[in-house]
Amino acid sequence: MVKDKSVDAVVRIAPYEYIHITNLNTHVTRLVLGPVTYVCLKDERLVFGPSQMVTVTRMTYCIIKNPVMRDGSGAPIIDKSGQVKINLGDEEYRFHQDPFALYPGEQLIDTIKDLPVVAANCTLRLRAVEEFLDAESVRHVAGEEWLFEGPATYYPRKEVTVVGPEEAQIIEINSALCLKATRDCIDRNGNPRVFGEKWLVRTPGVYLVGAYEVLVETRKAYILTETVCFVFAQFGRQ
């Protein structure tokens, strides 16, 4: 942020730079894009800039607070006084696009961030913070959790928080995973499970624990021979 300039300031705005100019009579602040040499009128004052436009590359994103309102064509909505309208308190995630300027009232939160890349046999555990429809028209309710599986690039959105990354479990030959349901759900094999139920997954290979499953333990198989056996009694006594 720059200090207020004199009312007759001459501002040289380079390419991919912008400024904010306030009219002292109407108190309306507007955006001016470069390249241009802008001469402030007697009733105008430079209140911000010149500043570089925000540049978001292909594998990065940014979060804009108080994003500008747009109409169906994508153009900013202007009120009757000439001031651009913003969604006060809202947030907007922006991805790769041409360099853009911030309208008066918009704020860049933190810095440009790298998009999360999820490797093969890994997942991101996600949780909805409010109800919404995703890109596949699937409705998620607040508090719901699900997994985003790799290999893929995850594009964040304001309705979802990332709980954390998780890695796949390896099931070796003659071993099994003991899993437990944390709520009523459908497991990866399409079987219905109830809260607290435990079951074994024996198929050798890679297994991604579901959103409502927890790994209790890994169990090894017992090798039975002609001289070794198990005797099972009621209540689990041997």
Residue 188 has what pLDDT?
87
Quick one: pLDDT band at residue 9, thresholds 50, 70, 90?
A: confident
160 and 133 both lie in a single domain: yes
130 and 145 both lie in a single domain: yes
Does some domain include residue 238? no
Is residue 233 packed enough to be buried (19+ CB in 10 Å), middle (13-18) or exposed (0-12)? exposed
- Interval 52-77: pLDDT, tens: 999 999 999 999 999 999 998 989 99
212 and 188 both lie in a single domain: yes
Does some domain include residue 106? no
Quick one: pLDDT band at residue 37, thresholds 50, 70, 90?
A: very high
13, 212, 230 from 8: Cα distances, Å: 16, 64, 95
Phi-psi category of residue 89: left, alpha or beta, with phi > 0 → left and psi -120 to 50 → alpha: left
- Interval 202-237: pLDDT, tens: 999 999 999 999 999 999 987 777 776 666 666 554
Residue 233 has what pLDDT?
63
163 and 176 both lie in a single domain: no
Q: Are 130 and 160 in contact (CB under 8 A)?
A: no
Does some domain include residue 133? yes
121 and 163 both lie in a single domain: yes
Does some domain include residue 73? no
Does some domain include residue 87? no
Distance, CA of 92 to chain centre: 10
Does some domain include residue 48? yes
Does some domain include residue 2? no
Mean of per-residue pLDDT scores for the chain? 90
Q: Are 13 and 35 in contact (CB under 8 A)?
A: yes
The domain of 150 spans: 117-167
46, 87, 103, 143, 180 from 72: Cα distances, Å: 31, 16, 18, 31, 48
- Interval 112-171: pLDDT, tens: 999 999 999 999 999 999 999 988 888 999 999 999 999 999 999 999 999 999 999 999
CA dist 188 and 104 (Å) reads 49
- Nearest by Cα to 124 from 157, 170, 90: 157
The stretches of the chain forming alpha helices (DSSP H) are none
Is residue 138 packed enough to be buried (19+ CB in 10 Å), middle (13-18) or exposed (0-12)? exposed
Residue 210 identity:
G
Q: How many domains does the chain have?
A: 3
CATH of the domain at 41: 2.30.30.570
